[in-house]
Amino acid sequence: MAVHHQLIRKPPGAVWSVLGDRDRYCDWVVGTADSEPADGDWPEVGSTLRYTVRIGPWTLHGRTVVRRCDRPRALELEAESGKLGTARIAVDVRPWGDDTLVIVDEHPLTGVGGALHNTAFDAFLVVRHRRMLSRLAAVVEDLAGSSGASDAGRSGDRSRA
């Protein structure tokens, strides 16, 4: 199991405005070249996105399903990557003073990823999480800076962003 965290210098409402926006998924998820809505109303439980990953000459198509959404605290996703299997990605969003502490916990569930899961694989996930969380922070901070959303959620607003 790989766990990593990032302090984002914006309130939870600003983080949720990105996590809850299906069109921004490929902006912060590392490796995703493209994404599009599939079923449901993202990020409601059961809603899905289709995504494409390109690695050199290879293209992989997958689907991400929302398994748990506890706005504004937690978003749990299941990434389905065909023969590679599935993975659980839990995003925990915690107020941290005026900022937000985001914790990502990811581990494979099924398929090749689940069968070959080991500490080396976890080390790869930690590197991926560092990039992903840095990208998430950049998207949140850019969005908050450009739209004046920097104060969104500071008063504990629990409404959908």
pLDDT in tens, 29-67: 887 888 888 999 999 999 999 998 887 898 889 999 999
Domain boundaries of the chain, sorted by first residue: 2-151
Give me the CATH topology for the region 2-151.
Alpha-D-Glucose-1,6-Bisphosphate; Chain A, domain 4 (3.30.530)
Contact 18, 152 (CB under 8 A): no
Tens of pLDDT, residues 97-112: 999 999 999 888 888 7
pTM of the entire predicted model = 0.81
Residues paired with residue 75 on neighbouring β-strands, in sequence order: 69, 91
Contact 89, 75 (CB under 8 A): no
Q: Report how many helices (DSSP H) and strands (DSSP E) the chain contains, helices first.
A: 4, 7
What average pLDDT does the chain have?
84
Tens of pLDDT, residues 126-143: 777 799 999 999 999 998
Contacts of 146 (CB under 8 A, 6+ apart): none
